[in-house]
Structure 1
Amino acid sequence: MGQVTNVNQLSDVQPTDWAFQALQSLVERYGCIAGYPNGTFRGNRAMTRYEFAAGLNACLDRVNELIATATTDAVTKEDLVTLQRLQENFTAELATLRGRVDTLEARSVQLEANQFSTTTKLHGQAIISANFGGFDGDRIIDATGRQITNDPNATIVFRAGIDLDTSFNKTDLLKLRLETGSGFTENGQVQGGRDNAGGFLEPFFGSALDYSINPPTDRNIEISRLYYTFKPSQDLAVTIGPNIRAADFIDFNSYAKLSFRDFSTQAFVNNYVIFPIEFPSAGAVIDWKPNRGAFTVRAAYTAADAGNPSDRGRLIGTAPFIDVLYDSPNIPNSPNTGGERGLFGDNYQGIVEVEFSPSRDLALRLQYSGGEVFDNHFDAIGANLEFTLAKKLGIFGRYGYSNYNNTRFGDISPNYWMAGVGFRDLFTKGALAGIAVGQPFIATEIGDSTQTNYEAFYNYPVNRNVQITPTIQVIENAANQNSNGTIYTGTLRTTFSF
């Protein structure tokens, strides 16, 4: 509430109102009337004794100030008698109110003395999952020709991290995320995402558990996000940083986006073919929502391995399917050095997204992505739809069409799609369940079939800080190979947030 110095500041108080003169007197003589932030008094609304006591307490404090400053002429004897009688009648309420104020002041002092920072908030999350799986048939051949004949062992996979969110003016954000995760080292390189059955048997076309591969690490603590967001105007947000991920800002979906809450399959939480630069990279993002209306425009530029001034070494930041399309330096004994590096090297992408969301129940997002990988051009278009049919039931889907030039298979045009159904508050408030199916990489040049992924999950909130989620994943024709047996995996995921 804001202090009022003139009764005309109260837009809903008119000179014809029966209490106008009384309000005018209280405002102009004593200055002990406050209005709401929108400039109203709301005098026709019923009030409680405690609300009246709060107003009375403000007037008593103001009268005491007038007396202390020797301006007692402004306080008549009649007013003092009235105030004394009111004070006696509201003794209990005033005592309760002042007691609450004293308690709040004491707690405020304690919080200020012990708070982590006046500008920074600390958030944390740990995901721990038990995973197992196997496949039908005699063997699995992945998209690079690797052959697997034994079922993978059951594993415990995890990701843990903390966010330091700092704001200097309440409209900006400096984010620093420190993360570590499970993985294993093979041929001197950390193989992120292969610590689970889906990622081990089919690591290239989006079957890996998404939360286990960002960043790709083997229990080493890494900076996975570092960026600064500021708002030049109320409708425009700008983000810049040396460690951002375009998919954090673009291609959102209420039912299929957050791998710690909903789907784990990488190809279900993002449009798989429009993000060849996937892992944290350097760049900038803008988010513009004109007049806070139904349309939003977003744009991003991200560069992989932007901190490398040379043209050699493992390329950090590209999606797994890039290793299938090109002679990647991430593959042992590859002749490709990865091309030019740095912020404006030849491994970059630019993305534009237009969102139309006339209500909370409907959102349509259209995307274009283009850039270069290993000095070869690509471009892609995508669509993302979510529609809530009822408060607890929603349908959603994504589609992508892309062109990648000069691959091992020539110029190809991979397609992608996924669709599903989501259920909110299933069996208990705050729960979320979903079923989805999709084909992450439809390309006739690769294999003799098309891989199809299925996943079902049920997220059960134990409380605000703990969520338990069983998931089932099935992969048919893995790596676009018809001869591959069906892959099946199960995961019990537990997420701790604080």
Structure 2
Amino acid sequence: MQRLLMDIWEQGGPWITSIGLSLMVCHGPSPAWGKGLETSPPLKSITSVSELSDVEPTDWAYQALQSLIERYGCVTGLPGGRFEGRRSLTRDEFAAALNRCFDFISILPNHLAEEDVATLERLQRDFAAELSTLSGRVEDLTPRIAALEAQEFSPTLVMGGESIFALSAGFGGERGESEATNPVLTHLTRLGFVSSFTGRDRLRFEFQASNFANRGFASPSGFNTDMALLSFQGNTNNRVQLSRLEYRFALGDRFVVTARPVGFSLSSVLTANSPYFDAGRGAVSRFAEASPAFKLGRLDAGGGFDWLVSDNVRLQAAYGVRNANRPEEGRGLFNSDHSAFGVQVFLKPAPTVLTGISYINAYAENGRLDTFTGSFLADTNSFINEPARIQGVNATLQWRVAERVTFSTWGTWLFSNALNSDRSATTTSYLFGLSYSEPFDRQGDLLALLVGQPLRLVSGTGLPFGEDEDTSLHFELFYRLRVSDRIS
């Protein structure tokens, strides 16, 4: 994926350029992996011409198809009930259809007229070689299928993967001899599995390896700001780690419960409503991919529910903590020193509009937001450094202005109050995005411009280091170039 990231700070701030290639390799259909992938479709037996969705009674071949299907069972369909009558037919495919006719005739030979029998005998002679080959293939496939069925791990398990390769560099700002802004070549590789036990649930787990070391350009020896973090950035020292474990199940047709003991954030349940919230196909920066409100607290485990109240209204709630797997004091699921609860009303007021309004209530023992999306003062609440209650309001909007043009925006207000003193802090953030899909009539391509203000500390009382004096602005322009179904 070829993309350009431009972050501008007023006081001679840094610029970051990142050019990346995203490669996704998937196996099998899945709600989370492999969208748009095509495989050779299996043939489907049909008993009536009405089962073919692309065949109408007015078609010139309708009567012939009806006769072949209902009298001889010679015609097969494709997934989705399609016939695709304009597609060319190979000799092997014709031999397979002819073989179905012979099988049917061998059962009911007395139902055929003499001229039909003569025609079929001639076809049988003409296609003797193809029919013999086809019969051999079927016999050869039988033991192979039996072996695969005996060895398969799960009939419902689907695997998918993604690799992101990025060449990135930074420039600008106050330069020093030890400044870490040199060009780097990094990767993020993920392998995911999705399965179901009942058909109304989903088990998903994901492994990850990455090598963007030392917080990249955001390190103290670099630009020393979280605004330089990239969306695909991570570092496991190339070791494979479990990055996500999730189980979802439905209670009825409109209520879904989610539990995620590994890799949780509020956006695991609350819809972020951002068209750029995808490390491989969306925004290049961590800030621009989604609102900071959904990243509050650096959580790692939690759950929630998603209730489809009506066709246009959804009610979502999520609760998460940090260190949920540790039983000592200040840890665990309900006594953690960092926790967050969020509730969102998600609306579809028009066919081309999606909007969400959310309220967030969090607790941080050290008073920090820990979103890693804005200034250091904002994310640490100017070092309140004592237990604090954090409340926030967040609003999102997506509007498809035209068939290929989408406008999106979000705004966040976070209010932090210390529990043992009168210290308080108010931070804000916003972003506006405009995208144009499939420019030059290229399917899968996307051109987007994102402009916003990373998280900024705008006011407070009793703050040790005061407020942010300057306003940082973020400009991001990227073009997603689709090379094939699996490479962008």
Say whether the fold is shared (TM-score over 0.5).
yes
Contact kept in structure 1, 2:189 and 2:208, CA below 8 Å: yes
Partner of 1:117: 153
Gaps of 5+ in 1: 11-18, 67-74, 139-147, 185-190, 312-339, 468-498
Structure 2 SS opposite 1:132: strand
Partner of 2:180: 152
Partner of 1:345: 335
User: Structure 1 CA distance, aligned partners of 2:75 and 2:477?
Assistant: 54
With 415-424 and 175-184 compared, the bigger mean Cα shift is at 175-184
* Higher relative contact order, chain-length normalized (CA < 8 Å, sep 6+): 2
Gaps of 5+ in 2: 1-43, 53-61, 366-386, 460-466
Taking structure 1 as the reference length, the TM-score comes to: 0.64
For 1:144-173, what per-residue CA distance to the aligned partner results, in whole angstroms no more than 9, with x for missing partners? xxxx77532312332222112223344432
2:426 aligned with 1:398: no
Contact kept in structure 2, 1:274 and 1:380, CA below 8 Å: no
Partner of 2:472: 451
User: Structure 1 CA distance, aligned partners of 2:220 and 2:145?
Assistant: 45
Contact kept in structure 2, 1:302 and 1:349, CA below 8 Å: yes
2:433 aligned with 1:420: yes
The one-letter code matched in structure 2 to 1:404 is S
Change (3 A) 1:448 1:466: same
Partner of 1:265: 285
Partner of 1:309: 327
Across the aligned residues of Structure 1 and Structure 2, the Cα RMSD in angstroms comes to 4.7
Taking structure 2 as the reference length, the TM-score comes to: 0.65
Shift of 1:197: 5.5
For 1:22-49, what per-residue CA distance to the aligned partner results, in whole angstroms no more than 9, with x for missing partners? x9xx98xx99699999xx999xx99999
For 1:458-486, what per-residue CA distance to the aligned partner results, in whole angstroms no more than 9, with x for missing partners? 2222323333xxxxxxxxxxxxxxxxxxx
Shift of 1:306: 0.4
Change (3 A) 1:95 1:376: farther
With 299-308 and 128-137 compared, the bigger mean Cα shift is at 128-137
Structure 2 SS opposite 1:84: helix
Shift of 1:285: 3.2
The one-letter code matched in structure 2 to 1:421 is L
Aligned mate of 1:437, from 428, 433, 451? 451
Shift of 1:417: 0.4
User: Structure 1 CA distance, aligned partners of 2:319 and 2:294?
Assistant: 13
Aligned mate of 1:229, from 248, 261, 286? 248
Change (3 A) 1:370 1:149: farther
Aligned mate of 1:219, from 230, 235, 238? 238
Shift of 1:452: 1.8
The one-letter code matched in structure 1 to 2:179 is D
For 1:320-357, what per-residue CA distance to the aligned partner results, in whole angstroms no more than 9, with x for missing partners? xxxxxxxxxxxxxxxxxxxx111112422222233223
2:398 aligned with 1:386: yes
Partner of 1:127: 164
Count of residues in Structure 1 that have an aligned counterpart in Structure 2: 398
With 82-91 and 169-178 compared, the bigger mean Cα shift is at 82-91
Shift of 1:429: 2.9
Contact kept in structure 2, 1:200 and 1:208, CA below 8 Å: no
For 1:182-201, what per-residue CA distance to the aligned partner results, in whole angstroms no more than 9, with x for missing partners? 254xxxxxx5xx12358964
Shift of 1:268: 1.0
User: Structure 1 CA distance, aligned partners of 2:436 and 2:87?
Assistant: 41
Change (3 A) 1:365 1:113: farther
User: Structure 1 CA distance, aligned partners of 2:227 and 2:74?
Assistant: 62
Sequence identity percentage:
19
Contact kept in structure 1, 2:344 and 2:358, CA below 8 Å: yes
With 381-390 and 407-416 compared, the bigger mean Cα shift is at 407-416
Structure 1 SS opposite 2:458: coil
